[in-house]
A and B are shown apart, each in its own frame.
Chain A
Amino acid sequence: MIDALWDPERLAAAQPPEPPAPADLTETRLLADLRRGEVSAFEELYRRQVRALYGFALRLSCRPAEAEELTQEVFVRAWEARGTFASLAHFKNWLRRVTVNEWINRIRRHRPLALDADDGTADEAAALASSSAPPGLRLDLERALAQLSPRLRAVLLLFDLYGLDHAEIGELLGMTVGASKVQLHRARRRLRELYGSS
């Protein structure tokens, strides 16, 4: 599936990147400093990215403590891989990709049967909702999301909230495009059941 990325026509048709916005220029400089091993640049990049990455980790895991651990782990790995980041977009995609991989690996290590089982973390979902959103409908939605199995939740969030397509989701989660579509359908159906009953 990933070989679809290597379609020469697609590459040839790719448009030149847009000139970076001023904010991006600052971050591009920070990234160059990071590649040279400057910790201060890494800390600044961390400060700029931590809310997005922690939010991503928390959405996936629905467990604040686990999301903190994931965030820490991924930034430590980012430091170790600092020489490989070619662009800011690459850096951000890398953070997200490694977060997903690490999250799945942790589930497989510690809760091997949990990946496809309903999560049943309503209490923590309530904590999540109360800390991150106004009360009411969103709390119910967050509670319902937290009760989805990790795999269904990941597919649904990656597609609906983070805007990835099925090929990207399949690559991240190790499934085919067709399987990703099926999982998305199941996730939506299950979410409606849970949301309707909450």
Chain B
Amino acid sequence: MKHDDAPRPEHDAALDDWLAGDLAPGSDAERALFATMPEDDAALHDELTAHREIRSQVRALPLELAPERDLWPQIAARIEVGDAESPPPSGGFWDRTISLPRWAALAALLAVAVGVGLLVGYERTAPEVAPLAVSSPAPLPPATGVDGRTGPALAAYAETDRALATIREELLRSIEARQAKLPPETRAVVFENLRTIDSAIDEIEAALAAAPADEQLARTYIAYRERQIAVLRQANELAARL
């Protein structure tokens, strides 16, 4: 088979895949063709060479470029104006100290806020869509120590946290892609709750840094991470239905 200048879309597409190392499984014939043809076909050889040359030059382009002026002053001015118009949630309910009753109160508040916010969205939608399937890691095993500072829970904490982080990352990526589908009021509730949960997690992380053996803190931390994932999962399911 000789190469000519006539369009060969079936080979062109496969050629791109082959060059990208992305040729579909089962395309052995085309793989063999592309691997051997350049030796017999000067035109294809030239085409492949040019193709690879351009690709390597594109890949050599610098990824980082500096703007000609410092953009920070204008960014700072804009975020200052934005914060003055709608100050972020801080202080007030959360201060520098950690207290478990506040976490409990916040959890109740979140349950109501997220529930109301998402239900408003659910009422507008058709419910017959399969939910997203995201596996959660196994929950922390029960504490066995008398003083609450020993047992398998702390050992499982890091592993559970890693597993949760993987899921959280996937859900966050998805909700970013889907958030435009959410009604504005639902979106506001979702992200407000995520911010609040993040603030709580930051506080608990600070407390854990000071008391790394505190099993209760570890459990509370995981509970908030799970709550965060539940909110993200609900929002994703809702966005998928819209």
What is A's interface to B at a CB cutoff of 8 Å?
Answer: 2-3, 5-8, 11-12, 14, 16-17, 32, 35-37, 39, 42-43, 46-47, 50-52, 54-56, 58-59, 64, 67-68, 71-72, 75-76, 79-84, 86-87, 89-90, 93-94, 97, 131-133, 137-138, 141-142, 145, 156-157, 159-162, 165-166, 171, 181-182, 184-185, 188-189, 191-192, 195-196
Contact = CB atoms under 8 A, between A and B. Distances in A.
Contacts, number: 173
B165 A17 contact: yes
B20 interface: yes
Given A3-B132, A39-B76, A55 B59 contact: no
A89 B12 CA distance: 35
A80 B82 contact: yes
Nearest to A33: B202
Contact of B165 (A51, A87, A182): A87
Given A36-B202, A84-B198, A192 B61 contact: no
B90 A16 contact: no
B34 to A, nearest CB: 14
B130 to A, nearest CB: 9
B41 interface: no
Contact of A6 (B20, B74, B133, B169): B133
Contacts of A50: 66-67, 71-72
B71 A72 contact: yes
Interface of B: 12-13, 16-17, 20, 22, 50-51, 54-55, 57-69, 71-72, 74-76, 78-79, 82, 88, 90, 132-135, 159, 162-163, 165-170, 172-174, 176-178, 191, 194-196, 198-199, 202, 205, 240
A68 B67 contact: yes
Contacts of A72: 71, 74-75, 78
Contact of A87 (B63, B72, B169): B169
